[in-house]
Amino acid sequence: MATLQRYFFSDLGVMLGRSLRHIFRSMDTIITATITPIGLMLLFVYVFGGAIQSGTANYVNYVLPGIFLVAIASGTSYTSLRLFTDVQRGIMDRFRSMPIAPSTLLWGHVLASLVFNGISLLIIVLVALLMGFRSAAGILPWLAIVGLLALVTLTLTWVAVIPGLTARSIDGAAVFAYPLIFLPFISSAFVPTRSMPPVVRAFAEHQPVTAIVNTIRALLAGEPVSQEIWIALAWCLGILLLAFFFARMAYKKRTA
């Protein structure tokens, strides 16, 4: 309806404002979302780092892109939890019975997730700087990094929407993140793939994390990016479209 479209942005603003309030009133969730990645970064740099032949002088620089992905994966699980709570508490039904553009109910959460993960990544960069992270990248490569991380966040958030809408328990809504947090370990995120046995190596080199990590690593180092940036973008956009499609299906199924 025309009236719904006219109010789309005003409705979206209200829904986004609500989700942002949730985030800023539960800062503990940001801390929780950053603790695992920061802990991993400390572990890899100060415990395992000495034994890993990464081929770079600065191992903090080496692990940081992988840590970003772990942080995004654990951060987006809060979108599942918040959506699940909305469904469970009945506030989703209240919104759905009102004359609101339905897609704003999901987009409000998704856009808030970008802000949430932006803050958590910023905290991680600050900790990394204290640990000796240095980047030779100029403004443009940094913009490219921010853009790519935003795309990854958007993709994983739409993935997170699916369990948020379909889970039957609060635990079910959160577990989807575990395999995603684990994925960077079987990639080039922490150790070079050439040290892995052939089967694992084949998997590691052809899964999305490696392409994304290698691209960000090159950008951070101020080096030219390889073809892998296209592979990384293709993975993100492909998964994004699929997740968006299934999330919409899950939303529509609620009215069937």
Partner 1 sequence: MPDMAIQVRDLHKSYRQLKVLQGVEFAVEQGRIFALLGPNGAGKTTLIKILSTLLKPDSGTALVNGFDVIAQAARVRHSISLTGQFAAVDELLTGRENLIMIAQLRHLKQPRRVADELLERFGLTEAANRRVSAYSGGMRRRLDLAMSLVGTPPIIFLDEPTTGLDPEGRLEVWKVVKELAQGGRTIFLTTQYLDEAEQLADRIAILHQGRIIASGTLQELKKLFPPARVEYVEKQPTLEEIFLAIIGQKEVC
Q: Which is nearer to partner 1, 18 or 201 (CB)?
A: 18
27 lies in the binding site for partner 1 (CB under 8 A): no
> Which of 98, 130, 139, 140 lies at the binding interface for partner 1 (CB under 8 A)?
98
28 lies in the binding site for partner 1 (CB under 8 A): no
Shortest distance (Å) from residue 174 CB to partner 1: 18
CA distances 213 to 35, 52, 129, 145, 191, Å, are 20, 17, 18, 10, 11
DSSP-assigned states of every residue in 177-238 = HHHHHHGGGGTTTTS-GGGS-HHHHHHHHHSHHHHHHHHHHHHHTTPPP-THHHHHHHHHHH
SS3 42: helix
CA atoms within 13 A on the CB side of 193: 20
> Which of 95, 133, 244, 251 lies at the binding interface for partner 1 (CB under 8 A)?
95
Quick one: which segment of 22-30, 70-78, 121-129, 135-143 binds partner 1 (CB under 8 A)?
22-30
> Which of 47, 50, 53, 90 lies at the binding interface for partner 1 (CB under 8 A)?
90
Quick one: which segment of 96-104, 118-126, 217-225, 238-246 binds partner 1 (CB under 8 A)?
96-104
Distance in angstroms (rounded) separating the CA atoms of residues 117 and 124: 10
Which amino acid makes up residue 64? L
21 lies in the binding site for partner 1 (CB under 8 A): yes
139 lies in the binding site for partner 1 (CB under 8 A): no
Total number of residues that touch partner 1 (CB under 8 A):
27
Indicate the DSSP class of residue 246: H
> Which of 8, 18, 225, 228 lies at the binding interface for partner 1 (CB under 8 A)?
18
Distance in angstroms (rounded) separating the CA atoms of residues 216 and 46: 22
Quick one: which segment of 3-11, 37-45, 162-170, 176-184 binds partner 1 (CB under 8 A)?
3-11
H/E segment holding residue 112: helix 103-130
> Which of 27, 43, 94, 245 lies at the binding interface for partner 1 (CB under 8 A)?
94
Residues in touch with partner 1 (CB under 8 A): 1, 3-4, 7, 10-11, 14, 17-18, 21-22, 25-26, 89-91, 93-100, 254-256
